[in-house]
Amino acid sequence: MKRTRFSKRVALAAGLFFLSAAPRLTRGQSNPPSPAPTPQPASPAARAGADSRPKDVFAGMTFTPEQQVKIRRIHQDFKSRREAVVQDDKLNADQKQAMMEGFHRLEDGEVFKVLTPEQQKQVRQGILAKRTADKAGQEKQVQPK
């Protein structure tokens, strides 16, 4: 019984020793953290390809007064969200850009829900036409001259 109690204490002490020594070993062996590399700015061609969504899918549409009020509220809500992201110091530039793009997609989705079924169909057709035009333009660039 004494032997079992003694072996348990030795095992506990050895475990505590190794747990306390492990962080010291890893800290002593690691190099100091290097500063994060600064991201290289993307070329204008890469930026143009990255933002392939239409600037305003709702351009040229006429809205009812009720729709205008709802859309204005949606824009104000997302404007405050975007301002909060811009002022957030915890996010880096890439994270802020991703958040902004996400908010734009969410905003477009909320506005889309306000539209009538006929208007939704018109927006879908406009998006499809833009996509096919973009694909045709890309295929022209890829083909050798």
Q: Per-residue pLDDT tens for 4-53?
A: 776 677 665 555 555 554 444 444 455 555 444 444 444 444 444 444 44
Same domain, 110 and 69: yes
DSSP string for residues in 61-123: ----HHHHHHHHHHHHHHHHHHHHHHH-TTS-HHHHHHHHHHHHHHHHHHHHHHS-HHHHHHH
**Contact present, 81 and 99 (Cβ < 8 Å):** no
Q: What is the pLDDT of residue 72?
A: 94
How far apart (Å, rounded) are the C-alpha atoms in residues 105 and 99? 10
Q: Assess contact for 122 and 57: CB atoms under 8 A.
A: no
Confidence of residue 140 (pLDDT cuts 50, 70, 90): confident
Indicate whether 134 belongs to any domain: yes
Q: Indicate if 71 and 102 belong to the same structural domain.
A: yes
Domain count along the chain: 2
End-to-end Cα distance, the chain: 89
Is residue 4 in some structural domain? no
Mean pLDDT of the chain: 75
Query: Mean pLDDT throughout 113-129?
Result: 92
Q: What is the per-residue pLDDT for 10?
A: 62
For residues 68 and 109, membership in a common domain is answered with yes
Asked whether residue 132 is assigned to any structural domain, the reply reads yes
pLDDT higher for 6 or 114?
114
Containing 10, the helix (H) or strand (E) segment is: helix 2-29
Q: Give the domain range for residue 80.
A: 63-114
Co-location of 96 and 138 in the same domain: no
- How high is the pLDDT of residue 17? 53
Residues in the chain: 145
